[in-house]
């Protein structure tokens, strides 16, 4: 036993979770897959007084495809979203990114909501939420509120969720433009290890190859996944050829303030993020044009 | 200190025990049920040595508290072979191909490879390496493990012809 002692509640409903969090006075914490929290507890970097287990709550599990959005309940296992044909058809970039999340054993337990709430800087699910401007729904005894991704990730491992709030679902927008494509690239020390740098792009082009809209975000290199609006603006309305991409991405190094650690220097992360961003945009364009090899 | 009564099934046998909430599943299997085949490695979800099958899917038993396992069904490395002590096809292939040296990672590797072959009877080398991506081995360099999985897969396919 490595974790500090705690009390355990197996909740049966979201309301019961909210009540337990409220009574916990900030010392109660939700546990879902536990793939981030249990290591933190083993190292005693987290010492919740009470764990509220949400694994039995049916209303926190499942995927719904509605008009222009995919709603993923917070407690849905990463492996189930990765294996979902509906997600692969409607949100292929999420499927692609999930293949890079941890390993089979951790994806079988880890949840979509758990990864978002943990807000690890290198987390692929957070990167895709930021890229597509997903909306998180949080519930507490005070009611329900919706938080856009741009206001959800505060810094490394910190979100804007308040004490007493339970993330219940995340809504990923589905693009319905005629020609869309995505690109996802990451660099890590070993396959499926934490990303040193990652980039994701999604593009919609018209039949003449002109960019109607593009989203680009990088992760791993900054405390939170970062949308690169400057690059998006530079590419919108243009025919996205390789020269145009190279010009647009040239601003990226100046936009990033990465950390150095034992695995990679800040300068390396800055350079690799920029190159991965270019690759992600090129793949997105090629897919949108039906030319992805 | 929070005590909880749990009931879980391991390798077809049902157990009921009282556990402290902070007891990990791997410690429960080893210390309470004397099923010491599952190894404790890093105890924080990095090495994969403690892998077990939970409700049909491989998971890390150091990243589940025993209390959370209440009502669930598990297979550990002890459950792979026959009741008479005979080895399963993947265990046989590991044995023959020296897919281990010190043996510490072996129970986790066997669980990962067993599950892979259940899901995918004809895996490519890339798929095999992906399946054991969450399991560290510091001895073999993985080559013999990959070979063992290929051989077990070939044999299983042969026997179905």
Domain map (residue ranges) of chain B:
3-79, 89-159
Class of the domain covering B89-159: mainly alpha
To the nearest 10 degrees (0 to 180), the angle between helices B106-119 and B89-96 is 130
Q: For the domain that residue A206 is a member of, what is the CATH number?
A: 3.30.390.50
Same domain, A78 and A93: yes
Any B CB within 8 A of A236 CB: no
- Unique residue bearing structure tokens 């729904």: A137
Q: For the domain that residue A11 is a member of, what is the CATH number?
A: 3.30.43.10
B1 confidence band (pLDDT: 50, 70, 90): low
- B-chain residues within 8 Å CB-CB of A109? 54, 59-60, 63-64
Strand ranges across the sheet with B3-10: B13-20, B3-10, B73-75, B51-54, B57-60
- Unique residue bearing structure tokens 């510490």: B104
β-pair type (B73-75, B3-10): parallel
| Domain presence at residue A2 | no
Class of the domain covering B3-79: alpha beta
* Average pLDDT over all residues of chain B: 95
Q: Please say whether the beta carbons of B17 and B32 come within 8 A.
A: yes
Any A CB within 8 A of B73 CB: no
Domains in chain A, number: 3
Residue A1: its pLDDT value, please?
67
The span from the CA of B113 to the CA of A104, in Å, is: 11
- What's the pTM? 0.96
Q: For the domain that residue A69 is a member of, what is the CATH number?
A: 3.30.465.10
Whether A109 and B60 lie within 8 Å, measured CB to CB: yes
| Closest-CA residue to B137 (of B108, B111, B94) | B108
Question: b vs e for A174-189, b when ≥16 Cβ sit within 10 Å of the residue's Cβ?
Answer: bbeeebbbbbbbbbbe
Using CA coordinates, name the residue in chain B closest to A80. B57
From the CA of A143, how many Å to the nearest CA of chain B? 28
Any A CB within 8 A of B74 CB: no
Contacts 24+ apart (CB under 8 A), A262-271: A263/A189, A263/A196, A264/A196, A264/A197, A268/A196, A269/A196, A269/A197, A269/A220, A269/A221, A270/A221
| Domain presence at residue A293 | no
Whether A39 and B48 lie within 8 Å, measured CB to CB: no
- A-chain residues within 8 Å CB-CB of B44? 2, 38-39, 42-43
- Going residue by residue through chain A (293 aa), what tens digit of pLDDT does each one get? 689 999 999 999 999 999 999 998 789 999 999 999 999 999 999 999 999 999 999 999 999 999 999 999 999 999 999 999 999 999 999 999 999 999 999 999 999 999 999 999 999 999 999 999 999 999 999 999 999 999 999 999 999 999 999 999 999 999 999 999 999 999 998 777 788 999 999 999 999 989 999 999 999 989 999 999 999 999 999 999 999 999 999 999 999 999 898 989 999 999 999 999 999 999 999 999 998 76
Whether A2 and B129 lie within 8 Å, measured CB to CB: no
| Domain presence at residue A1 | no
Torsion of CA A55, B43, B11, B8, to 10 degrees: -40
Domain residues for the domain of A233 are: 179-288
Residues B107-152: pLDDT tens digits?
999 999 999 999 999 999 999 999 999 999 999 999 999 999 999 9
- B-chain residues within 8 Å CB-CB of A10? 67-68, 70
| Domain presence at residue A152 | yes
Residues in Cβ contact with B15 at an 8 Å cutoff, skipping those fewer than 6 apart: B7, B8, B9, B32, B33
Structure token digits, residue B83 = 């009741």
Residue A189: its pLDDT value, please?
84
Any A CB within 8 A of B68 CB: yes
Whether B22 and A106 lie within 8 Å, measured CB to CB: no
Same domain, A118 and A157: yes
Q: Is the pLDDT of residue B161 over 70?
A: no
From the CA of A215, how many Å to the nearest CA of chain B? 30
Q: Is the pLDDT of residue B159 over 80?
A: no
Same domain, A168 and A64: yes
Same domain, A65 and A103: yes
Q: Which domain-ending residue is among A155, A173, A191?
A: A173
Chain centroid to CA A94: how far?
9
Whether A191 and B129 lie within 8 Å, measured CB to CB: yes
Residue B93: its pLDDT value, please?
97
Residues B41-65: pLDDT tens digits?
999 999 999 999 999 999 999 999 9
Any B CB within 8 A of A38 CB: yes
Same domain, A46 and A69: no
């Amino acid at each position: 036993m490595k974790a500090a002692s705690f009390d355990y509640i197996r909740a049966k409903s979201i309301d019961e979770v909210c009540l337990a969090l409220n009574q916990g006075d900030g010392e109660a914490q939700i546990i879902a897959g536990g793939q981030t929290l249990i290591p933190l507890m083993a190292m005693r970097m987290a010492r919740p007084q009470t764990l509220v287990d949400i694994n039995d709550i049916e209303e926190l599990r499942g995927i719904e495809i509605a008009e222009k959005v995919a709603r993923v309940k917070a407690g849905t296992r990463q492996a189930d979203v990765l294996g979902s044909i509906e997600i692969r058809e409607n949100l292929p970039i999420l499927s692609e990114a999930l293949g890079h999340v941890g390993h089979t054993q951790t994806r079988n337990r880890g949840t979509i909501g758990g990864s978002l709430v943990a807000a690890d800087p290198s987390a692929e699910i957070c990167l895709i939420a930021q890229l597509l401007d997903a909306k998180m729904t949080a519930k507490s005894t005070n009611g329900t509120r919706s938080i856009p991704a741009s206001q959800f990730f505060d810094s490394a491992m910190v979100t804007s969720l308040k004490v007493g709030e339970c993330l219940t679902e995340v809504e990923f927008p589905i693009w319905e433009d005629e020609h869309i494509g995505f690109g996802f690239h990451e660099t890590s020390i070993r396959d499926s290890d934490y990303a040193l740098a990652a980039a994701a792009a999604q593009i919609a082009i018209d039949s003449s190859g002109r960019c109607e809209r593009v989203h680009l975000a990088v992760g791993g290199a900054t405390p939170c996944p970062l949308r690169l609006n400057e690059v998006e603006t530079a590419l919108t309305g243009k025919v996205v050829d390789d020269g145009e991409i190279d010009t647009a991405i040239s601003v990226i190094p100046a936009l990033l303030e990465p950390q150095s650690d034992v695995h990679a220097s800040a300068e390396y992360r800055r350079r690799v993020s920029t190159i991965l961003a270019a690759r992600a945009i090129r793949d997105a364009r090629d897919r949108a044009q039906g030319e992805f090899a | 200190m929070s005590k909880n009564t749990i009931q879980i099934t391991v390798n077809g046998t049902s157990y009921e025990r009282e556990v402290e909430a902070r007891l990990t599943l791997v410690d429960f299997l080893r210390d309470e049920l004397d099923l010491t085949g599952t190894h404790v490695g890093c105890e924080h979800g990095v090495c994969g040595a403690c892998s077990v099958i939970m409700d049909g899917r491989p998971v890390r038993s150091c990243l589940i508290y025993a209390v959370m396992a209440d009502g669930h069904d598990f297979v550990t490395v002890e459950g792979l072979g026959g009741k008479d002590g005979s080895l399963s096809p993947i265990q046989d292939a590991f044995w023959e191909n020296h897919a281990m040296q010190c043996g510490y990672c072996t129970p986790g590797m066997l669980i990962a490879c067993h599950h892979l072959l259940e899901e995918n009877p004809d895996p490519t080398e890339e798929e095999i390496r992906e399946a054991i991506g969450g399991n560290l081995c510091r001895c073999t360099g993985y080559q013999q493990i990959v070979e063992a999985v290929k051989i077990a897969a070939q044999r299983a396919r042969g026997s179905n012809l």
